A = this chain, B = another copy of it.
Amino acid sequence: MQRTPLRTLCADLPTATPGSTVRLQGWVHRRRELSAVTFLVVRDRSGLAQVVVREGSVPPEETTVEVVGTATANAQAPGGVEVTDPVITPLTEPAATPPIELWRPTVNVGLPTLLDHAPVTWRHPAQRARWELAAASLRGFRATLDRLGFTEIQTPKFVASATESGANVFEVDYFGRPAYLAQSPQFYKQQLVGVFERVYEVGPVFRAEPHDTVRHLAEYVSLDAELGFIQDHRDVLRVLRDVVAGMTDAVHEHAAGAVALTGAQVPVVPDEIPVLHFRDALALVGAPEDEPDLAPEHERALGEWALETHGSDFVAVEGYPMAKRPFYTHPQPDDDRWSNSFDLLFRGLELVTGGQRLHTPSSYRAAIRARGEDPAAYASYLQAFEHGMPPHGGFAIGLERWTARLTGVANIREVTLFPRDLHRLTP
């Protein structure tokens, strides 16, 4: 008999040779004490395994343990193999009783409990699976863009002016003077199109949102991409289509178990995403033609239209009124009331905003003056344009919104590891 066999992950126990000695390491997921025997369920990163304990005690739930015992076939056990004759060694002190019963099949607690005890509640397999969808999506995002010749960038989160960052910014004491936290890497990813042509960044962005809603966070993870030498925003939308398809592929490839556990409805991304002009979208939903934006009920109606007409969970609305878009937005060439920008709706909710940007220095100066500002305030940003930029555009996907839509949770906080908002700064 091997005295200290290599660790066997719970998920691999069914492949262990019956009669061989195995070593499990994990958490006491559940104890079920019967009269003559205790069933111990061990949980590790791969799954669960059953241990049959006939003598001695089992530490309380969530205590970490090492179990050395015999792999034994038992058709009643999960996976057909359990561990018998175990020697159980606690790896820490007996754990305190968890704030929620982690062994129950569903996470059945209110949001405050879920969030206040996040370090523990994320251990619930169904809760953990939500983040596994997020992590797999990140892999798919990067893998797709790597394949398409994009370069990953990491841009500064400290910026010099509130202007650079937009409204609702957080102010920082930066060595005795004010600085601000970036609301997006927008200005930097554009400047770096001038260097690498195609760039992406995954990182935190900061918004001092005074809104206490189920969709807003003070800090979230933004998946940004920007590319040069485009014809117009339709080229951007094509890359976005490939990125979202790559994210769903990665979810299936790397997180199939999490899909099953969460019941996530992973969409099929059509080869071409249906596109409606903003003007036509208003007409379709019966809104007045001078509406400057789509209301939530309009977005829902468009989502239903896309599903019925195109069998698509996605629809892009292009041509949003220039008045509602940021100053760097490229106008629609034949009618500058409209813009070369789009929103991508996923199941009737806005998931991504993207579009073509201005790229000539004179158009930037004019756009900045048009909002009553001095181009000199943007001197650092405008350097890139004065020194030659290509037609370009890009998009940003909010990671938490994406995962929330995949899983259908009511509140974005349910898919955020440690959410930050108007009220919450811990844990």
Contacts and interface: CB of A to CB of B under 8 A. Distances in A.
Interface of A: 7, 25-28, 44-45, 62-64, 91-93, 95-96, 98, 117, 119-120, 122-123, 128, 131-132, 134-135, 138-139, 142, 146, 149, 151-160, 170-175, 177, 179, 181, 188, 191-192, 194-198, 202-204, 206, 208, 210, 218-219, 221, 228-229, 359-362, 380-381, 383-391, 399, 417-420, 422, 425-427
A119 B383 contact: yes
Contact of A425 (B44, B151, B171, B174): B174
Contact of A98 (B123, B128, B359, B387): B387
Give the number of times this chain occurs in the complex, counting copies: 2
Contacts of A146: 139
A92 B390 contact: yes
15 contacts: A63-B388, A64-B229, A95-B387, A120-B384, A123-B194, A132-B151, A135-B151, A153-B417, A155-B418, A156-B418, A157-B206, A172-B172, A174-B218, A380-B427, A381-B427
Contact of A156 (B26, B98, B135, B420): B420
Going nearest first, the 3 A-B pairs with the smallest beta carbon separation are A95-B388, A62-B388, A380-B427
A125 to B, nearest CB: 10
A387 B160 contact: no
A45 B197 contact: yes
Contact of A204 (B128, B134, B204): B204
Contact of A219 (B91, B158, B422, B427): B158
B120 A362 contact: no
Contact of A122 (B142, B160, B192): B192
Given A119-B384, A139-B152, A160 B204 contact: no
Nearest to A380: B427
B64 A389 contact: yes
B98 A195 contact: no
A153 to B, nearest CB: 6
B138 A152 contact: yes
A149 B389 CA distance: 41
Contacts of A188: 417-418
A170 B160 contact: no
A7 B229 contact: yes
Given A119-B192, A156-B204, A158-B219, 20 more contacts: A64-B359, A91-B390, A91-B391, A92-B385, A92-B388, A95-B386, A96-B387, A123-B194, A128-B196, A134-B154, A139-B146, A154-B399, A157-B219, A158-B420, A170-B173, A174-B218, A177-B425, A179-B425, A188-B417, A380-B426
